[in-house]
A and B are shown apart, each in its own frame.
Chain A
């Protein structure tokens, strides 16, 4: 680990194609690298393939029937398509657009759901520790420590979303994928999540899909701009926003379409 953090990439996407139907690509020939301990934002108009690309990174896209994938994604140098999805998803966690705590589980059970659903037996004190750490990491501990054994669905939307982040990081993943995690939240809850992401990047590598350009500008270190399935441009957020190389990026950033 003597390389500088900036050049250390966790995920390496190589000539990735994803098609939902034969010859209709949602992601076309995307190559990019996701850098360690940074927030990478994927931007672009609706239907540009940004969510599909994100889901490709932990193979969630394979849940759709008849999906076709070409190319490769390397996680720390190893192809994710050669790993078992179970191992992959433990190392690459995911948070979704809408908060989705398991409605049949308490807050406590939700945080350790990743373990219980994978038959990983833990001692009670280990579990307690994981729950407390994960909830402290998402700044939810003080709000819920009195009600750990109530159902997670009693929380507010923003709290539920932080609970979902806690559930994803309880495994201590390398990468956390976030698919528009604030689009269903109000501005206050959104700013709490954004602060949280800034904290989390110290421990994890974050990839964030967002509709919201100002959000990308506020919190991301690197940005990728996608259009019609192609990766148009990527680079450090500051450069991409102030000095875009591609005319399509500039058009998007100045609100000409999107």
Chain B
């Protein structure tokens, strides 16, 4: 009996050890592509990143061709894409953050009501809609009927629809983490409902709400497909919401389609990746700093 048991334990330890290595190997395999991507972008893209890259609009084909054939750094940058992205993301946030917060709070507060449950399943469906379809919808609504042409407004509408389900879900989930007793404490002091929401619920869950918004932002920053059908792209820096504008991901697509500008693809991609990554890191630090629950 005694000997059998020792055998058994040895065997178990061996299996345990093998399994541990398997798990570690799996995680290494997952991480390798991430390092390869960042490394590749950095090696191929760093040459183009200078002051002009952020302050000048994209070059035209001729300028790029001249520079490329002379072996020089391509002039110009991504300023038109940067301003376009910022304009549209800002507009989309203006629409989506208040709407999303209110809807999220509504769903959380009325989770037993049929209408709230219906809204929640709709947001789940909305989250699964392919982004190109949201682009088509914004095209029909805004491009065809409101701005009568491709526009930044149409782009931000499609981005708004993308942001909404993300913000709604994160709001609802964050609110769910607030203990019921905190709400009761507020009501027991005679606090009116709206005060309870904006003086207790929102401040207490601030980190969660901010994280949700930042993650939604980092998500739409890289979105390309819906913008192709709505914002279209523009070679010039523009802040007119009724006119076409460019965006960083749209520029990457343009650069890719022009054989003279290929090296700009790398630098623009590197920039976009680093920007989105820092948004994510910011979201994390906000989440850990203002944590009450």
Contact A60 B184 (CB under 8 A): yes
Given the known A-B contacts A87-B190, A93-B188, are A116 and B182 also in contact in the complex, defined by CB atoms under 8 Å?
A: no
When the two chains form the complex, which single residue of A87, A97, A102, A119 contacts B195, counting CB atoms closer than 8 Å? A119
Instruction: List which B172-229 residues lie within 8 A (CB) of chain A.
Output: 179, 181-182, 184-192, 195-196, 199-200, 203-204, 206
* Contact status A100-B190, CB under 8 Å: no
Contact partner, A58, options B188, B203, B204, B292, Cβ 8 Å: B188
Which of B182, B189, B292 is within 8 Å of A117, CB to CB? B189
Closest to A99 in B: B181
B182 lies within 8 A of A86 (CB): no
Interface contact A104-B200, CB-CB below 8 Å = yes
Residues 62 to 97 of chain A near chain B (Cβ within 8 Å): 63, 65, 85-90, 93-94, 96-97
Q: Mark A93-120, 1 if CB is under 8 A from B, else 0.
A: 1101110111110000000011011110
Taking a contact as CB atoms under 8 Å apart, the answer to whether A100 and B185 are in contact is yes
Evaluate contact between B190 and A102: CB separation under 8 angstroms: no
Contact flag A118-B181 (CB < 8 Å), given A102-B200, A103-B293, A104-B203: no
Q: Are A63 and B187 in contact (CB under 8 A)?
A: yes
B residues within 8 A CB of A88?
190
- In the complex, what residues of B have CB within 8 A of residue A63's CB? 184, 187
Nearest Cβ on chain A to B172's Cβ, whole angstroms:
18
Cα(A153)–Cα(B203), bound, Å: 15
Q: Is the C-beta of B121 less than 8 angstroms from some C-beta in chain A?
A: no
Give the residues from 140 to 178 in chain B that come closer than 8 angstroms, CB to CB, to chain A: none
Contact of B186 with A117 in the complex, beta carbons under 8 Å: yes
Q: Is B112 part of the contact surface with A, judged by Cβ < 8 Å?
A: yes
Chain A residues within 8 Å of B192, by CB: 86, 118
The CA-CA distance from A153 to B292 in the complex, in Å, is: 9
Interface of chain B: mostly helix, strand, loop or mixed: helix
A100-B181, A100-B182, A117-B195 known; A89+B187 contact, CB < 8 A = yes
Q: B196 to chain A: which residues have CB within 8 Å?
A: 117
A168: min CB distance to chain B, Å? 7
Q: Which residues of A contact B292 (CB under 8 A)?
A: 103-104, 153
- In the complex, what residues of B have CB within 8 A of residue A85's CB? 190
Contact of B189 with A96 in the complex, beta carbons under 8 Å:
no
Partner of B190, one of A89, A97, A104, A153: A89
Instruction: List CB contacts (< 8 Å) of B221-250 with chain A.
Output: none
Give Cα distance in the complex from A58 to B200, angstroms. Answer: 21
Known A-B contacts A100-B181, A102-B204; the reply to A117 vs B199 at CB < 8 A is: yes
**CA distance in complex: A85, B203 (Å):** 24
Which residues does chain A contribute within 8 Å of B184, judged by CB atoms?
60, 63, 94, 96, 100
Residue of B179, B185, B200 ringed by the most chain A CB atoms within 10 A: B185
Seen from chain B, the residues whose Cβ lies within 8 Å of a Cβ on chain A are 112, 179, 181-182, 184-192, 195-196, 199-200, 203-204, 206, 292-293
